[in-house]
Chains A and B, each alone.
Chain A
Amino acid sequence: MAVDKKRYNMRISGLGGQGVVTSAHILGSAMDNAGKFASLVPFFGSEKRMAPVEAYVRASSEPIYEVGEVVYPDIIMIYHPQVITHGKSYTMPFYTGLKKNSLIIINTDVDILDPDDTKVLNTLGAKVVQFNATELAIKIAGTELATNMAMMGMVLGITKLVSKENIEKAVRERFLGNSFVASGGTAALDSAIEKKFKKKEELLQKNMAVINETFILADSIDLNTDKLIIKLNA
């Protein structure tokens, strides 16, 4: 896995309510803050909890023209094991189109890839990072709602695309800036998250604490290993 690429095409698959689109927006803003280029596209059907949601983030050091789904990703992030076990993704299997020597991050501490999957992924020279992002979110931020921050922190920790300052600015813009309306549902969810954290500043700090923790975990990863699956203890 080369982590110094000029351009990353990321495909993020998760479930409605997990903040897939929100974290993709933050990721894109962080790239923008760093003076780089990013574009992101959300993809969903009916807007309901637990329904499949995908977001596609393109991050690059040069201008990006392409939009739409990322059909050939360099990085795949799976926010919920059901994406794999229940087929809740827009492509089946979830790694369809994965480029050679690419990265997969899965929110799980259970091995959910079957032998057919591991065979293909081994041939592609992929690296699969498995960690329980939800447990980490609960441990550090006190809520599973910060799962998306843990996932985003992990990918940024591994790729070092932006600095922590860039991320903090983006998180601040998202939650403390002008109210953003992704849809009625998202606005309602935002206010629910705010109530949970009482204060927006507290929300920001908890989110950053989760991201800091994932940066530490990411530093422990050796992508030059021969193993397909790299397991981290959250």
Chain B
Amino acid sequence: MSIKNMTKEKNWSGQTMVSADHLLFEAPREKHFMTGSEVLKEAMKRCTVDASVSYPITPQSEAAHLIGELWAEGYVGTYFRGENEFGVMSSVAGCAMAGARTVTTTSGPGTLRAMENFPMWSGTRIPCQLVLMARGINSPLTIQPDNLEVSFLLETGCMIWYAENVQELFDMSIAAFIVAEMPDVHVPIITAVDGFFVSHTRESVMLPADDIALFPYNPYKAPLPPIDSEMPPGRFLRDPFVMKSNYISYATHASWQWEVRSAADRSRPYAKHFLKGLVHVTGDLDAEIVFVACGTASHQAKEANRELTKMGIKSKVVKLRTIRPFPHAELLEETKSAKYIFVPEFNIVGWLDKEVTQTLYGKSEAKIIGRPRVAGGMSMPVEAILKEVLENVKKGA
């Protein structure tokens, strides 16, 4: 098995190569019952992945292990274990700069250990994918789901998408490569899910056959050429601008920061197409009670919406699929009718609440309530959401 075995129609493992539209929207699907970790294996199996680097940390260990099985089965070009998460993310950068479609996975403390690499990734404009299975990062040590770590990634310049469930993880992790690799985008992408709640939760999913896969990544379409020490990004790693300390080097830094963020912004139309919208709305469209959430919290909010409907109270759920770039316009549009906006979250700081408040500042008269909020891996029972809603609405009436 090697890249030499590729033909015009088949990739190196003999899968027929198809467009992303065909794989995501047109190919017939069959029902399976799977965990998030298992479904990620199935997604990567259909992505003609060149390279994957791994390091074990709960709750993503199983996903990393299963991608390793894909390598053993001949679907993934190369697979190896890093020395630690910092080494993993550095190796990912190396693979991606060399022109490989590269994926890795990590969780909580692993993310923080690797932190320096993420702004480096975006700065070098590599279109690699990190599948983040969020886990608590506090001491005392925890392995439980808590997505505080996502707040640390918000300003790394990487795109961040958030999948709600096992099905969305499958579709999103395939679309992630395609959007990240668009020549006018070409920045890294972090596909986040809540650890355990998605990685270890087993539910039914619809999957296309596994004899089809994406066309490989074409590094020659990249805005920056594959690694070459005389050309960027190789050149600016080997011979950093900072060493010059002249006007050009300062101007480069300033403009490049804007360019990286603009590149991520240019992903919007592609994400809109492949994710079928940057936000997804359920419930009564003109409701005064609006939940804004991502990931598992939107799951819980949908259940709350169903219970409120039974009580004769209208509400709707605005699920954010993309966090970076943030769907400002969509959020404004979908909260026009809102009197109360609830932002349920699985972290102590309420990073999504801050994003929502910032977006709506001066543009909405709704009361924004950053609750309920649970931390350290606690569950958010629907009953807690209902209590929050009923208390606030009663107060307001």
Contacts and interface: CB of A to CB of B under 8 A. Distances in A.
Interface of A: 25, 28-29, 32, 37-43, 45, 64-72, 180-184
B196 interface: yes
Which 7 residue pairs are nearest across A and B when measured between Cβ atoms? A68-B379, A69-B379, A65-B302, A71-B381, A66-B303, A65-B303, A32-B33
A72 to B, nearest CB: 6
A47 to B, nearest CB: 8
Contact of B62 (A40, A43, A68, A181): A181
B33 A68 contact: no
B200 A68 contact: no
Contact of B299 (A32, A37, A65, A70): A65
Contacts of A25: 202
Given A32-B204, A39-B201, A65-B299, 7 more contacts: A32-B33, A43-B144, A65-B303, A66-B300, A67-B165, A67-B198, A69-B379
Interface in B363-385: 378-383
B61 interface: yes
B379 A183 contact: no
Contacts of B111: none
Given A32-B204, A65-B300, A181-B65, A41 B381 contact: no
A182 B201 contact: no
B203 interface: yes
Given A181-B62, A181-B66, A41 B306 contact: no
A38 B33 CA distance: 10
12 contacts: A28-B203, A32-B33, A32-B204, A38-B203, A39-B201, A41-B197, A65-B299, A66-B299, A66-B300, A68-B381, A72-B383, A180-B38
B196 A43 contact: yes
Contacts of B200: 41-42
B300 A28 contact: no
B299 A67 contact: yes
Interface string B299-317: 1101100100000000000
Contacts of B145: 68
Interface residues of B, number: 31
Contacts of B378: 69
Contacts of A181: 62, 65-66
B54 interface: no
Contact of A68 (B197, B204, B306): B197
Contacts of A28: 33, 202-203
Given A181-B66, A183-B62, A40 B303 contact: no
B45 to A, nearest CB: 13
A43 B143 CA distance: 10
Contacts of A180: 38
B376 to A, nearest CB: 12
Interface string B49-92: 00000000000011001100000000000000000000000000
A39 B380 CA distance: 16
Given A66-B382, A181-B65, A39 B202 contact: yes
A25 B203 CA distance: 10
B296 interface: yes
A29 B31 CA distance: 12
Which of A45, A67, A72 is the most central at the interface, judged by chain B CB atoms within 10 Å of its CB?
Answer: A67
Contacts of B144: 43
A45 B143 contact: yes
Given A65-B306, A181-B65, A183-B61, A40 B201 contact: yes
Nearest to A28: B202
Interface string B241-259: 0000000000000000000
Contact of B197 (A67, A71, A182): A67
Interface in B345-397: 378-383
Contacts of A70: 379
A42 B200 CA distance: 7
Which of B33, B38, B143, B299 is the most central at the interface, judged by chain A CB atoms within 10 Å of its CB?
Answer: B33
